[in-house]
Structures are given as structure tokens and as C-alpha cells.
Chain A
Amino acid sequence: MAKVFYRLPPFCLKVGTIDRLICLGIESTADNLGVGIASSDGTILANEVSVHVPEEGGIHPREAARHHAAEVGNVLTRALRTAGIGSADIDLIAFSQGPGMGPCLRTGATAARALAAYLGLPLVGVNHCVAHIEIGRLATGAEDPLTLYVSGGNTLVSGFEAGRYRIFGETLDIAVGNCLDTFAREAGLPYPGGPAIEETALEGGRLIPLPYVVKGMDLSFSGLLTAAIQAFRSGRWRLADICFSLQEVAYAMLGEVTERALVHTGKGELLLTGGVAANTRLRSVVRSIAEEHGSQPKFVPPGYATDNGAMIAWTGLLSYLSGVSTPIETSYIDARWRLDEVEVPWRG
């Protein structure tokens, strides 16, 4: 379990709760609305989620935000019920402040501010990417991993160095999950795209030529996406073979930058997280690389790997216990808040 330092600002101490703080966290960066409840002893009391499924096309930020606004009350109630606590038991409110889609972030932020103001509790803005890494560490017991975080909105390789999560490699254009989802949609595969491609790929086995683009430790997926769509439209290849090849190329690219970063940093653990972390083929790539370099592969369980409220609640606690809080007046969301801008004092 992560080390927690009990440096509590005196005003937050309540009689009877000195040894345990409870945080409610709201996640709303994209299509998932999540509410999680975490305790400072490292237990997750609730992790409820409601997913916005677009009727057609990809995520439309305003429609997703509308879904979040309509659902936030229900999900909050469910989370409190699951945790078996009332609002009086909560000590602080955390929310995902960025990066993500503006309208979605604002909806979660509004709910969090309202709760904090109404209950008279401190508010903590959390970086979504930091939260993915922190819940990953908590859920897998990893101490100081190199993290490969792959989702619909993010693709990056990060490790802790000198007070921050440094980014060693990332996509130069679209996220790998975006590449997979968009191809799936173009090819008429069912939603969600990643699992559909994985399943279709099982019937393929012929490698078709697709662009493999790695620049140092950075990646580019937009050319791969275009080429895969063109291959599909040309009618020259079986869909199963395109899915197979798309996965092989995309995951080999991720494998290469991860391996480079692992060798560069010498980290003893390799953590895989994000929505794409559920992919069996990608897991086998990560396992193989970790083993090759004497590192421990760590896979974050699906409920904590996809966007979720528990990661926000947990990271909110870590921040708050290191003296970080966000006054409501300055709690603006930041749709482009980079992971490596965040100070991480709890990992001194």
C-alpha cells in the first residue's frame, strides 16, 4: 500500500475520525461518470460508474456532459449506499480537474463544488492521469512502476522522477484507443470498438502492411488509422486480417516505446492501465517485455483501469494529506492539464 503521511491541517480533524479520512471523488473527463469513495487507510468503499453510450459516432462532449448531469445524482446515491455511509461521514470532496473534454469536466466540477459548498467540506482538484497511476499502485501493490497508460484519450509512458510523474513517451497525435474505436466504427464493428477488434482479430492471422511509426520514445497512430481504413475500403483484405494487423502493429509500437523507457529508467515494475489495458494481446506484450528486463508486470483490474471515481477519491486523499486543496473560487477545470505539470509531494 502507498505510504500515507498523516500531516492533517488541524481544521479538518473531527472527533472520532482522526485516524481515517473519507473522500468522495467524482470522475467525468469523457464518457464515464464515476463516483468513488475511498478511505485514507487504503480501502475503496465504493466505485460506481455510469457510461454514456453515443447513439452514433464517437463521444460528443456536450451529449456526454448532458448524460453526466442527468446521472450524477443517481450515481452519488448508489455510491453512498454501496459504501454504507451518509454524507456526514465524508471529510472531503475530490474531482477530476483535467485533462479531458471541457463540457464533461465542467459537469463533474460543478457537482463537486456544489457538494463541497453544501456540506462545508474541503475540495481537491485531481489530475486524471496522476489518479490512474495512483489507483494502479494501490490496486496492484506496485511501489515505483513505469506506467503504460493507454485509453481512448491518452497514450503515454510515465515514471516517477524527482517529485513528478515524468513523461518518457507519448502519442504525437491521437490516442491508441481512439485509433481502435474509430477504425471499429468505420468497419461497422459493434461498440465498444477495442473488444470487437480483439475478437475479430482472433479469426485473422495474416499480417498486412500497415505503417509502424515510432519516433524515439514517441508514437503516432493517425497514419496507422488512415491506412487501416483504406485497407478496409479497398476490399482487398479480410476484416479479420486487418483487425489482426492493426492490433499487431499498434501493440508492437506501444511495446517498443515501453521497452525503451523501461531500459532508460530501469524501473522494477511495469504497470499497465487505462481502458485498452484489458486487451489480452497488449497484456502479453507487456508481460514479455517486463520479463525480458527483469521487471514485474502489474495489471490494473478493469474497474480501476478504466475511468473511475475511486481513483479520484484516492488521489484526492493523497493530495489533501500532503497539504493540497483547491479553493472553490479557483477550481477551474483545465482540459489540457499535463501529467508532468503536477507536483507529487506524497511520494517524496
Chain B
Amino acid sequence: MEGLRLIAKGAEADILLDPDWNGVKALVKRRGEKGYRHPALDMAIRRSRTIHEAGIIHRAKEAGIPTPLLYQVDPEGATIIMEYVEGERVREIVDRLGAGERRRLFRLIGTQAGRLHRAGIIHGDLTTSNMIRAGDAVFFIDFGLGEVSKEAEKRGVDLHLMRRMLTSTHFSHAEELFAAFEEGYRGAMGPEAGEALRRMREIERRGRYVERENRLDGHG
């Protein structure tokens, strides 16, 4: 494990670069201990997320979504060693792309999200920070919060996370980008897309997500 270089310190895990893991350049994703969590809870969360993430990445490949190759999974060490994908994070490139390219990119992201959902996979943290553009492909990464489900509710939450990411971080193009995303998503998901999108809008309206509405209520 010599020569490891920390390349990203995420909220949940450290990402290290191993320039020579059995002869290949590899990423080491290690879920470090969280001192603020009860040790038993902490170990359970880190262990299950590690196993889970590896399983979900494998399933995503079966659905045809570009994801990093897995070289090794170590649940007790909460570590996954995987392929280093050369490319740029979508979050960092959105605002400097031209309008046409931006739309093409988000249509592709929507298509992949649709394939993922159709294959029964929920990403769990579907944001532009977790997508890497490499050539013409967009790799989905960080399936740490992913799960296997075909529930419309969970699909809706995934879409909601994507949409909220757009309105909180890429707010200047949020509507346009989501429209392109939705187009791709509908294309890949077929008739099931409608229900997931309806659920997303319902989630936005529900509980804490209610938009300003009907201000002239009763006695004001």
C-alpha cells in the first residue's frame, strides 16, 4: 500500500490513488471511521455500504451503465479497490459547456438514469458530483447509498435529488438541464417514466417540499 495519494476527501470516504496496484492505476475508496457515530453503528454502516456498493456497481454494469471496474472488495476494512476512470466531474464542467453540448450531456445522463431505474437500481445520491465524463461516456460513480428497488417512490426520490442538485448548484440552467434529462429518462424508461416523474413532483409538494401555494388562505 505504498505510494497511495489522497485525491479526494469525501464526506463519507477517502479516495486514494494507487499508481501501481498490481501493475494498474487504481482508486482505493476507504470508508473511514466517523468519530461522531457510536462505534457499533459506525462499523455496521461502513461495512454494509461497502458490500452494497460493490453489489450495486455490478448490477449497474449488467444494465449497461458505465461504472468503474472492481478489483477488490474488503468489507471489514470498508475498502473497495477499483478502476481509475480518467475524466472530468460533470459538476465542474456544466457551467462552461455550450448550450447544445450541455443539453446532449444531460439527455445522456437522463438516458442512463432511466436504464438504471428500469434495471431496478436506485442510485441514492444522483448528483452531478457523482458523474464523470470520459470521452463520449458518462461514468456513474459512488453507489454508496444505492439500493435495489423498482418502487416509484424511490425512483421519485432519485429524480428529486437530481433536480434539487440542479436548482441548488446549477441554478442558472436548472430548467433547461432538467428538461433534457427528463427527455433522456423518458426515452430509456418508457411508460414507467411517467409514474416516477409524477412521484418526484409529489415529493416536492409533500410535507416540507410544498411550494408556495394558495396564499389567500382563509382569514390570511
A262 close to B (CB within 8 Å): yes
Interface of A, helix, strand, loop or mixed by DSSP: mixed
Q: Are B207 and A171 in contact (CB under 8 A)?
A: yes
A333 close to B (CB within 8 Å): yes
Q: Which of B109-147 contact A (CB under 8 A)?
A: 124-127, 129, 145
Given A106-B218, A288-B36: 18 more A-B contacts, CB < 8 Å: A156-B208, A167-B164, A172-B203, A173-B207, A174-B207, A207-B38, A207-B41, A215-B124, A215-B157, A215-B161, A218-B161, A252-B38, A259-B11, A292-B35, A332-B216, A332-B220, A336-B210, A338-B209
CA distance A155 to B129 in the complex (A): 24
Q: Which of A284-335 contact B (CB under 8 A)?
A: 284-285, 288-289, 292, 331-335
Q: Are A207 and B40 in contact (CB under 8 A)?
A: yes
B22 close to A (CB within 8 Å): no
CA distance A292 to B211 in the complex (A): 35
**Contact flags (1/0) for A90-118 with B, using CB distance below 8 Å?**
00000000000010001001000000000
B34 close to A (CB within 8 Å): yes
Q: A-B pairs with the 9 shortest C-beta distances?
A: A332-B220, A260-B11, A288-B36, A336-B210, A263-B11, A216-B161, A285-B36, A216-B125, A259-B11
CA distance A289 to B206 in the complex (A): 30
Given A106-B219, A162-B171, is A216 in contact with B126 using a C-beta cutoff of 8 Å? yes
In the complex, what residues of B have CB within 8 A of residue A7's CB?
A: none
CA distance A334 to B10 in the complex (A): 38
Between B161, B164, B208, B218, the greatest number of chain A beta carbons within 10 A of the residue's beta carbon is seen for: B208
Closest Cβ neighbor of B130 among chain A residues: A216
B12 close to A (CB within 8 Å): yes
Closest Cβ neighbor of B91 among chain A residues: A264
Which residue of A171, A252, A337 contacts B41 across the interface (Cβ within 8 Å)?
A252
B142 to chain A, nearest CB (A): 10
In the complex, what residues of B have CB within 8 A of residue A186's CB?
A: none
Given A168-B168, A259-B11, A288-B35, is A338 in contact with B126 using a C-beta cutoff of 8 Å? no
A-B contact count (CB 8 A): 106
A78 close to B (CB within 8 Å): no
**Contact flags (1/0) for A207-230 with B, using CB distance below 8 Å?**
100001011111000000000000
Q: Are A106 and B207 in contact (CB under 8 A)?
A: no
A271 to chain B, nearest CB (A): 17
In the complex, what residues of A have CB within 8 A of residue B220's CB?
A: 106, 109, 331-333
Given A215-B157, A288-B35, A338-B211, is A332 in contact with B217 using a C-beta cutoff of 8 Å? yes
In the complex, what residues of B have CB within 8 A of residue A203's CB?
A: none
In the complex, what residues of B have CB within 8 A of residue A336's CB?
A: 210-213
In the complex, what residues of A have CB within 8 A of residue B7's CB?
A: none
Q: Are A216 and B127 in contact (CB under 8 A)?
A: yes
In the complex, what residues of A have CB within 8 A of residue B213's CB?
A: 336
Interface of B, helix, strand, loop or mixed by DSSP: loop
Q: Are A337 and B212 in contact (CB under 8 A)?
A: yes
Between B11, B36, B126, B210, the greatest number of chain A beta carbons within 10 A of the residue's beta carbon is seen for: B36
CA distance A262 to B41 in the complex (A): 22
22 contacts between A and B (CB under 8 A): A106-B218, A106-B220, A161-B171, A168-B168, A172-B207, A173-B207, A207-B40, A207-B41, A216-B127, A216-B145, A218-B161, A252-B38, A263-B9, A285-B36, A292-B35, A331-B220, A332-B215, A332-B220, A333-B217, A333-B220, A336-B211, A341-B212
In the complex, what residues of A have CB within 8 A of residue B129's CB?
A: 264
Chain A residues within CB distance 8 Å of chain B: 102, 106, 109, 154-156, 161-162, 166-168, 170-174, 207, 212, 214-218, 248-249, 251-252, 255-256, 259-260, 262-264, 284-285, 288-289, 292, 331-338, 340-341
CA distance A248 to B208 in the complex (A): 24
In the complex, what residues of A have CB within 8 A of residue B218's CB?
A: 102, 106
In the complex, what residues of A have CB within 8 A of residue B145's CB?
A: 214-216
B96 close to A (CB within 8 Å): no
Closest Cβ neighbor of B213 among chain A residues: A336
A262 to chain B, nearest CB (A): 7
B6 close to A (CB within 8 Å): no
In the complex, what residues of B have CB within 8 A of residue A106's CB?
A: 218-220
A220 to chain B, nearest CB (A): 9
Q: Are B215 and A172 in contact (CB under 8 A)?
A: no
In the complex, what residues of A have CB within 8 A of residue B207's CB?
A: 171-174
In the complex, what residues of A have CB within 8 A of residue B38's CB?
A: 207, 248, 252
In the complex, what residues of A have CB within 8 A of residue B215's CB?
A: 332, 334
B45 close to A (CB within 8 Å): yes
In the complex, what residues of A have CB within 8 A of residue B161's CB?
A: 215-218
Which residue of A161, A256, A338 contacts B212 across the interface (Cβ within 8 Å)?
A338
Given A171-B208, A338-B211, is A102 in contact with B124 using a C-beta cutoff of 8 Å? no
In the complex, what residues of B have CB within 8 A of residue A264's CB?
A: 11, 129
CA distance A64 to B10 in the complex (A): 44
In the complex, what residues of A have CB within 8 A of residue B34's CB?
A: 252, 255-256, 259
B61 to chain A, nearest CB (A): 22
CA distance A168 to B207 in the complex (A): 16
CA distance A335 to B211 in the complex (A): 11
In the complex, what residues of B have CB within 8 A of residue A166's CB?
A: 168
In the complex, what residues of A have CB within 8 A of residue B127's CB?
A: 216
